[in-house]
Amino acid sequence: MAQPLVKKDDDHDDELEYSPFMGIEKGAVLQEARVFNDAQVDPRRCSQVITKLLYLLNQGESFTKVEATEVFFSVTKLFQSKDTGLRRMVYLIIKELSPSSDEVIIVTSSLMKDMNSKIDMYRANAIRVLCRIIDGTLLTQIERYLKQAIVDKNPVVSSAALVSGLHLLRTNPEIVKRWSNEVQEGIQSRSALVQFHALALLHQIRQNDRLAVSKLVGSLTRGSVRSPLAQCLLIRYTSQVIRDMANHGQSGERPFYEFLESCLRHKAEMVILEAARAITELDGVTSRELTPAITVLQLFLSSPRPVLRFAAVRTLNKVAMTHPMAVTNCNIDMESLISDQNRSIATLAITTLLKTGNESSVERLMKQITNFMSDIADEFKIVVVEAIRSLCVKFPLKYRSLMTFLSNVLREEGGFEYKRAIVDSIVTIIRDIPDAKESGLLHLCEFIEDCEFTYLSTQILHFLGIEGPNTSDPSKYIRYIYNRVHLENATVRAAAVSTLAKFGFMVESLKPRITILLKRCIYDSDDEVRDRATLFLSVLGGDGTVDTDKETKDFLFGSLEVPLVNLETSLKNYEPSEEAFDVDSVSKEVKSQPLAEKKAQGKKPTGLGAPPAAPASGFDGYEKLLSSIPEFAAFGKLFKSSPPVELTEPETEYAVNVVKHIYDSHVVLQYNCTNTVPEQLLERVNVIVDASEAEEFNEVTSKALNSLPYDKPGQAFVVFKKPAGVPAVGKFSNTLTFVVKEVDPSTGEADADDDGVEDEYQLEDLEVVAGDYMVKVGVSNFRNAWENMDEEDERVDEYGLGQRDSLGEAVNAVTDLLGMQICEGTETIPTNARSHTCLLSGVYIGNVKVLVRAQFGMDSSKDIAMKLTVRAEDVSVADAIHEIVACG
Amino acid sequence: MILAVLFANSVGNVLIERFNGVPAEERLHWRTFLVKLGADNLKGVKNEELLVACHKSVYIVYTMLGDVSIFLVGKDEYDELALAETIYIITAAVKDVCGKPPTERVFLDKYGRICLCLDEIVWNGLLENTDKDRIKRLIRLKPPSEV
């Protein structure tokens, strides 16, 4: 467990060696810091106080603004002292205190003096401190000195300036980029470290210039790089160049491979590993290229240095994912790593072996892993279990030893995630390998005998209910399941009751005995358990409530046909009465939003409304709904469903909206109707559509709604035929017709003798517009997509859009009219903008891709003009778009 | 980037911690994680034997030196190899300052100098100096011997 994170001074009092910082207190140290102001500075004493300040800061202690300012001002006085040890401490504490920008000025003159000092070390340190605390303006003033420092003959000064450059590049890139000549000179330095820092900085400066990086790499791979660190950087930059070249279609022999390969013979281990890693990560690496890299990695597997073993096995682990065969030669070396003291190495070795091992080595491997599992953390164990699952799928014949392994680890101690990983693995194996089923189920049964996780117990019970009855001897599982009823919490007990019932139904010979067991459950202390037991007893007992085996089977094993949200809403609305809740009364429509929720939104606090807009994923829901209606099955693939269009005012008796479903040669109008009058039941609900203003449309069929009780949305459909592939438009007037019956609101039932009264209700008109034939489909890169379309087929025209309040209004009007996807955030228009370009994309009926560039401009009188450029895969569609805009 | 350098004593109390580019709210998590990692794995480990681990996309190299455990956390170019190089320099410098693998007392006695050494080795997450003799001179503001 984690040790307490207390400060050192809270530590054991009885410690023999007492700490020099024992009892240290911020207030006291700040008091002591006053010695910095003494006329005669005592360097030793001051250094001690600075050390204490450092200790406090390193312990996470923070100073208030006032405290920090006070200390900082006092520290600056120490620049008067010539003592070098103290001066070094002063540099450090200033960096640690990181003074605010308004205080920096106090110290800059001293530091600038030091930066030009004859003493090299003053220069180096002053540069580092200045670069830590200054802003852009001051940087411009000292830029000249920094450039000089980069080429200073003292490597420490040079390195200080280069590393400062690396830090400053993040905040002031423009200034640092001006130093490339000096940095370039640094790369030629004889000092290894200067070369390392210069290379890092130069690459950062030029990283976006592919050609420059390529040149840099080209020249350095031929020359000599002094430090191994710089060589590693060079290898990384080389890999990047190789990748870029491959991306840009340069073919032939892989460039720089020879360089990488030569680095495999470098004297520094880190360079060899870096080169090996770079080779293994090459795109489309061949086995010939891979072999030398794998060979050196194999050697490192038996290195005495753990870091090298780790680096090698980590790289091999990655290679095993893409080229498992290439790694098999290293298997023996990796097997010895399973017992490596460093658990990270052992886990990597095992997971690599599990990927590369062959069928004959599985047993041996399992034996080794078993010894190893007891002393690694859960997170490592999960990795191993997952690797074993994939191994088992790969070698199904070896399921016995793998299953034994999993069942053994299942019995050991472990957290929820780990146990879940094991249970998931066993379930996968049972599903994939039929032979493994019986033993796997027994392992799971044994596990639930002593399982502390309710979630896992219920999952396993459910799984047993599905798989158990089909085994050769289902009776052997009953004991384990029934034990749950006695020993577990209510959730598990309820799951056990359901599982028992499944066995009872599926296995005729067990039915009498299961019935006895279920009878014992009807005295359970929990409502749900009792209810389930009672229900299943009546289902199994065949007492007439259930007609056929099929119904029982559907009930026990079938999936719930209604969306849970709808079921929940209906149950909430169900008032306890003599009449039982009827699950058939629950709407199966996925899209309708529950009324209660709509009320909660506060839009219509008193009234009831039609089902609101479909959710974003509505298309799938519509497709499912429509395909379930046999009359519509022959229409082909649904092209588009519009958002619902309201046909009634809010708060009217009957709320109706319509969704336009577009097929290639049909349009289906789906009228979503809601009856908001509790005293009425509507029957034979139909919509009469007058299509006289829609010449190209011919009504082919309609589907009435038999019954529309209060607050249970239903749908009526009217279907029109139109010319295939043609974006026909038109206006439809709608009338709702129905038979209304009075009901008693308390029972919700209509009088049986009431024949009802025919009535009709005028709805608003509906239009099918050109935008209905356009699907919003975005493109990831508009410019590319635009350029890939033939310029020849471009159609351009200009339109006057009249006076508008704002550009945004005009943009919305055009995009709504076209029904296209707005790309690259061009829907956002800066306030007060006088011009704007909007990029749109979509797919037109017939699956024709369309791109539109709409340029808007507004004059002083708020008159808006638009230039519309359209490119489409079919030029007639581009013309059609212009027609839409011209008519709109 | 070297994200963190952390020194702790044998019972897991932090002696020095330096974070670079780690948001303040994540530091406690790292501190706890590293101390736990040390408690789990550093028992009985020989002086300067390196241990290594990955956590998400970062690498951790850690070791024991006398009574003090040292942890380095890095990412991107500071992978396990670069961190191993850095920790090697740090342990060499600490041994040099303390004269031997330090007890906690000795480490605290030389606290100021150790801070200076660290300042020379890792600066804001970048490795700056790698030679212990040079570092020894630099912390006394003496130029490197080759100059």
Residue A585: φ, ψ to 5°: -80, -10
- Whether residue B146 and residue A155 make contact (CB cut-off 8 A), yes or no, is yes
CA distance A190 to A714: 84
CA distance A577 to A751: 17
- Whether residue B123 and residue A17 make contact (CB cut-off 8 A), yes or no, is no
Mean pLDDT, range A721-734, rounded to an integer? 86
Instruction: Tell me which residue in B17, B128, B146 faces A60 most closely, judged by beta carbons.
Output: B17
B19 to chain A, closest Cα gap in Å: 10
User: According to the model, what pLDDT value does residue A8 have?
Assistant: 46
pLDDT in tens, A207-249: 888 899 999 999 998 877 888 999 999 999 999 999 888 766 5
- Whether residue B112 and residue A50 make contact (CB cut-off 8 A), yes or no, is yes
pLDDT band at A92 (very low <50, low <70, confident <90, very high): very high
Mean pLDDT, range A489-494, rounded to an integer? 94
- Express as a percent the part of chain A with pLDDT over 90: 33
Instruction: Tell me which residue in B80, B108, B130 faces A20 most closely, judged by beta carbons.
Output: B108
Q: Residue A655 in contact with residue A677, Cβ under 8 Å? A: no
| Chain A hits for B17, Cβ within 8 Å | 58-60
User: Mean of the per-residue pLDDT values for chain A?
Assistant: 84
pLDDT in tens, A353-401: 888 877 777 888 888 788 777 767 777 788 888 888 888 877 888 888 8
- Whether residue B35 and residue A2 make contact (CB cut-off 8 A), yes or no, is yes
A381 Cβ neighbours under 8 A, 6+ residues apart: A373, A409, A414, A418, A421
Instruction: Tell me which residue in A20, A160, A307 faces B52 most closely, judged by beta carbons.
Output: A307
Instruction: Report CA Rg, chain A.
Output: 39
- Whether residue A307 and residue B50 make contact (CB cut-off 8 A), yes or no, is yes
Instruction: Report CA Rg, chain B.
Output: 14
Burial call A14-42: b when 16+ CB within 10 Å, e when fewer: eeeeebbbeebebeebbeebebbeeeebe
Which residue in chain A is spatially nearest to B83 when comparing CA positions?
Answer: A307
Instruction: Tell me which residue in A20, A59, A197 faces B14 most closely, judged by beta carbons.
Output: A59
- Whether residue B36 and residue A51 make contact (CB cut-off 8 A), yes or no, is no
Give, for B86, the enclosing helix (H) or strand (E).
Answer: helix B80-98
CA distance A21 to A32: 14
- Express as a percent the part of chain A with pLDDT over 70: 90
Domains of chain B: 2-146 (3.30.450.60)
User: According to the model, what pLDDT value does residue A150 have?
Assistant: 94
pLDDT in tens, A459-476: 999 999 989 998 999 999
- Whether residue A167 and residue B126 make contact (CB cut-off 8 A), yes or no, is yes
Q: What is the pLDDT along chain B (147 residues), one digit of tens a residue?
A: 999 999 999 888 999 998 998 888 888 889 999 998 899 888 888 899 899 988 778 999 999 999 999 999 999 889 999 999 999 999 999 999 998 899 999 999 999 999 999 999 998 889 988 888 989 988 888 888 776
pLDDT in tens, A498-531: 999 999 988 889 999 999 999 999 999 999 999 9
> What is the distance, to the nearest Å, from the Cα of residue A749 to the centroid of all Cα atoms in its chain?
50
pLDDT band at A613 (very low <50, low <70, confident <90, very high): very low
User: According to the model, what pLDDT value does residue A325 have?
Assistant: 86
User: According to the model, what pLDDT value does residue A560 have?
Assistant: 65
A798 to chain B, closest Cα gap in Å: 53
Model confidence at A611: pLDDT above 60: no
- Whether residue A4 and residue B140 make contact (CB cut-off 8 A), yes or no, is no
Tokens of residue A395, six digits? 């070698």
- Whether residue B111 and residue A55 make contact (CB cut-off 8 A), yes or no, is yes
Most confident of A22-26, A647-651, A796-800, B66-70: B66-70
Which residue in chain A is spatially nearest to B46 when comparing CA positions?
Answer: A341
A766 Cβ neighbours under 8 A, 6+ residues apart: A645, A647, A658, A660, A669, A731, A732, A733, A734
pLDDT band at A680 (very low <50, low <70, confident <90, very high): confident
- Whether residue A2 and residue B109 make contact (CB cut-off 8 A), yes or no, is no
pLDDT band at A252 (very low <50, low <70, confident <90, very high): low
- Whether residue A21 and residue B111 make contact (CB cut-off 8 A), yes or no, is yes
Bigger pLDDT: A634 or A852?
A: A852
Find which of B55, B128, B132 to mutate to test the A interface (most A CBs within 10 Å of its CB). B128
Find which of A51, A91, A170, A271 to mutate to test the B interface (most B CBs within 10 Å of its CB). A51
A858 Cβ neighbours under 8 A, 6+ residues apart: A804, A807, A810, A834, A835, A864, A865
A182 to chain B, closest Cα gap in Å: 19
Model confidence at A633: pLDDT above 80: no
The conformation of residue A710, written as its DSSP 8-state character, comes to: B
pLDDT band at A497 (very low <50, low <70, confident <90, very high): very high
- Whether residue A19 and residue B105 make contact (CB cut-off 8 A), yes or no, is yes
pLDDT in tens, A579-594: 788 777 776 655 433 3
Mean pLDDT, range A836-859, rounded to an integer? 87
A394 Cβ neighbours under 8 A, 6+ residues apart: none
CB pairs under 8 A between A and B: 166
pLDDT band at A616 (very low <50, low <70, confident <90, very high): very low
CA distance A541 to B126: 77
| Chain A hits for B140, Cβ within 8 Å | 84-85, 88
Instruction: Tell me which residue in B13, B18, B41 faces A11 most closely, judged by beta carbons.
Output: B13
- Whether residue B13 and residue A7 make contact (CB cut-off 8 A), yes or no, is yes
Tokens of residue A172, six digits? 């002031």
Kindly list the distances between the CA atom of residue A502 and the CA atoms of A462, A509, A535, in Å, as whole numbers in the listed order: 9, 13, 12
A131 Cβ neighbours under 8 A, 6+ residues apart: A139, A146, A164, A167, A168
B100 to chain A, closest Cα gap in Å: 17
- Whether residue A54 and residue B36 make contact (CB cut-off 8 A), yes or no, is no
pLDDT in tens, A388-402: 888 887 788 888 888
pLDDT in tens, A173-213: 999 999 999 999 999 888 889 999 999 999 999 988 889 99
B70 to chain A, closest Cα gap in Å: 14
